[in-house]
Amino acid sequence: MEIQYYREMTESYSKLRQCGILKNKKIFLFGHCNATEELVKCFAEGGFSITSILDNNTSKHGKVYQGIPIAPPNSILSENPEEVIVCIAARFYEAMYSQLRKLGFTGEIRKMVDYNTYAEYSLSNETIGRKWKRIEKGQRLVEELEKKYPSHFRVFCPFSALGDIYFCMSYLPHFLEKRSIKDYIVCVASRACARVAALFAHCPVEIIEQKELDAAIQAELYLQDDKAFIAHQDRPYVVNLSKALYIKKIPLEKIYCCGVFGLPKETKPVSPQYWRDYRDLQSIEKGRAVILSPYAKSVTELAADVWEEIVSGYQEEGWQVFTNVAGDEKPLRGTIPISPLICEMKSVVERAGTFIGIRSGMCDVIRTAKCRKIALYPDYNYCDTKWKGIDIYEISEFENIFIKSDFVWKRILDKECSRYEF
């Protein structure tokens, strides 16, 4: 979960706690996603238990997360609404709120974070008014970009996800060539995203704070600007693509290639080329070190004992064990923290010889590196589809491991194949 949204969510939780509204309430969360899992931690640290996680995905019903049952939304109707509060930390708050009200639920519903999303289909005066303010703000931002880059085509990357930026930049050159576009700028939401973009091209990259970027994109959509393109696979940028995901397992890379950029499926992605060597490369024992990457924004976390087993397995072999960390992230217990720049990651993992990471954008960044590369996949569904995350995110250049509850790392330490389950 992106840090700015995490802070907003925790602030919302603190306000609920301080005003006393949570006292003697049964707490329900709506939507089993990464943000919801972070919210579970917030409540647990405050001494509050979650009664249930509501979700529309039937494949999740009957399952349990951290001891919390996952159930269909209509299950809440058996509760006394005066004794219940529903907290929502998902992008589709408006639709979820409307669904609960249509079901007949009359209890308290609270928005925990405002993603400023475009996927608000409500025609309420509140929603329309909020969107119009965004458009007005966005128009001013677009005008500023036009003044700074009067002849440049504008490419917007809406969300701060390294994998999305990687796929965008991998296929963007083909898209621009098809349209005979030479001068362009790329607008991203974070410094990390800008660094990924810089691996591919020396074009101007504008870092725009997320909510301002949201507003600019809202204005571009409203204006139907032919000098701008929104490079993302989510609604409403790509019409009805999400529906196709319910029918077929479309890899995320092909979603970008075909669905976003409209390129033939056989189009070869461009590889990043602007790499640099890590400043302290000699500190890594060549071929006898492993770089662990346990953090991700878009997938559920792995249990701590999974990482503990991996760490101990390599330490018993006498290997150096590093944890790649950024910002406030903490290294795994017993490991050495390492914080190379994104443009230095390739040299780091190639020097170490082995990279193991939860499936995240970092896996995409180093997919062309020449070393052993292992991607770990938690047991979770992609968005609200019936497909597992591994079905959508699998990387051909990696060993892909689907982690089950009976995971035993030593069984696969010396085994290499493209995909297996433990």
pLDDT digits (tens, 9 = 90+) for 75-130: 999 999 999 999 988 777 877 888 999 999 999 999 888 765 544 545 566 666 66
Question: Which range, 238-252, 288-302, 351-365, 369-383, has the best average confidence (pLDDT)?
Answer: 351-365
pLDDT band at residue 283 using 50, 70 and 90 as cut-offs: very high
For residues 408 and 422, give the distance between their C-alpha atoms in angstroms, rounded to a whole number. 7
Residue 223 in tokens: 């204006």
Pick the range with the lowest mean pLDDT from 20-34, 165-179, 241-255, 294-308.
241-255
Q: Where are the alpha helices (DSSP H) in 153-228?
A: 162-178, 191-198, 210-223
pLDDT at position 406 is: 64
Query: 95 near 124, Cβ under 8 Å?
Result: no
Query: 305 near 333, Cβ under 8 Å?
Result: no
Residue 343 in tokens: 């443009």
- Asked if the bond preceding 150 is cis, omega within 30° of 0, the reply is no
Give the single-character DSSP code of 255. Answer: I
pLDDT band at residue 422 using 50, 70 and 90 as cut-offs: very low
pLDDT at position 421 is: 46
Helix (H, G, I), strand (E, B) or coil at 370: coil
CA 148 vs. chain centroid, Å, equals 31
Query: 343 near 275, Cβ under 8 Å?
Result: yes
pLDDT at position 10 is: 81
Give the single-character DSSP code of 70. Answer: E
pLDDT at position 364 is: 94
Task: Please give the share of the chain, as a percent, with pLDDT higher than 70.
Answer: 86
> Is residue 350 pLDDT above 60, yes or no?
yes
228-230: strand order across its sheet = 205-207, 184-188, 153-156, 228-230
**Region 381-407 average pLDDT:** 81
pLDDT at position 187 is: 95
Q: What is the pLDDT of residues 250-259, one digit of tens each?
A: 888 888 898 8
Per the listing, tokens 């007949």 go with 104
Task: Please give the share of the chain, as a percent, with pLDDT higher than 90.
Answer: 48
Which among 159, 175, 377 has a CA at the least distance from the CA of 256?
175
Comparing 338 with 39, the larger pLDDT belongs to 338
Residues 6+ apart with CB under 8 A from 132: none
pLDDT at position 128 is: 64
Give the single-character DSSP code of 300. Answer: P
> Is residue 301 pLDDT above 80, yes or no?
no
Question: Measured in Å, how far apart are the chain's first and last C-alpha atoms?
Answer: 26
Question: Which range, 194-203, 244-253, 397-406, has the best average confidence (pLDDT)?
Answer: 194-203
Pick the range with the lowest mean pLDDT from 11-25, 112-126, 173-187.
112-126
pLDDT at position 238 is: 53
Helix (H, G, I), strand (E, B) or coil at 118: coil
Residue 35 in tokens: 């943000």
How buried is residue 61: exposed, middle or buried, by Cβ count under 10 Å (0-12/13-18/19+)? middle
Comparing 133 with 340, the larger pLDDT belongs to 340
pLDDT at position 109 is: 92
Comparing 201 with 6, the larger pLDDT belongs to 201
Query: 31 near 6, Cβ under 8 Å?
Result: no
**Region 43-63 average pLDDT:** 87
